[in-house]
Structure 1
């Protein structure tokens, strides 16, 4: 099965592609061309945010790609400072993206405690109104997720958090799994020393790049990945993971990469 079709299920029988194209720090024509390239080589999941200031370029790339909108999973995110006018912010995002809905809307990071629940209720309301297919959070702790769920009866489908070999936390991953919350990892390559001999050694044995090793390691832990690049060859390589399978000893070596022996 090609990587582009690997998915995990979210509530409501929504298929979330395990490999998404990240767009943080991509602006203007670079954002447009990078998203176009990603869609051309097979990505079907694009991650943006109000903060990134590139929603219009992402939307134009999706339109111009020729791929049916229903085939592309689009995520955007709400800045906490926009919490008090969340619906208006979402409507602006939809205009920028030139779409009637987004597939996933996240709170980019936690608001102040007094607004945690009310902000989450705004996201749930937008889902009920059909403006988003499902909703989640980013940079939240399991305790904060529990607070939202207890207060509203609606659990976030996703938590997008930093993840890399150096930040691997099996207990935290298990806490999300037990709640049925999908973990999306971000900055997995940025926060990794790709010259580390463990990674270069594994890459050499498999005839791939260290970046591909790290991305495949995420996937074998069932963590959604969001690699970002403005270079077409890297955009392509980051998706080309179908024929790479890490052995159990490879996974163990990467899991313990930055921990004291």
Structure 2
């Protein structure tokens, strides 16, 4: 911050002394921190005494490299009461290495870096050609910090406890499915037993219903067979002689009885 103020004061002094610079540059922050995967702004601002300072060329380099990271030629801007530019028209170019990751804002000269990587750490240089001066901003990119699940209780984190609800739910579900299967299996067995018993009773009833008929038929066949095999002899008349004794009567004698 102090170095930025010194540079700004020097630029203002030269401008007040009637130098031909016409542009005053201010570095608001010369040490910037960033995080991997995030975006960061390297803040710069400038003012112009009048529109004669256009066109104004601005470019950024990395680690004092000769290759320009990005550059803009500001053709014209609307100047505010204090010479702050706005609504600028500029032609900008970005190196292929930083295409889509670096953006230079012509109205203030700031550089926006996206999707930071660890290799992006280092010193960045911004140059305003009309002033023939270069300013440095140091960027430090840090790894992403992983916040613990329970930051208020360090050392008590037990990831295995997080699986207990899921395990209990799975056990209860399996138990429920087992009970349903057992109930359905028992109902099926009971129904099967009733069906088998009914079939047995029906078979017994049919057997008993068929048995008298068979027995009657056997009796009929037996009687018919007996009739053919053993014909019954016809009764024949026999002569029986008997003697009747009684008081002397005039009808005494032998009688012929037919039986």
TM-score, scaled relative to structure 1: 0.20
Name which structure has the greater RCO, CA cutoff 8 Å, separation 6+: 1
Q: Which has the higher helix share?
A: 1
Bigger radius of gyration? 2
Q: Which has the higher strand share?
A: 2
TM-score, scaled relative to structure 2: 0.20
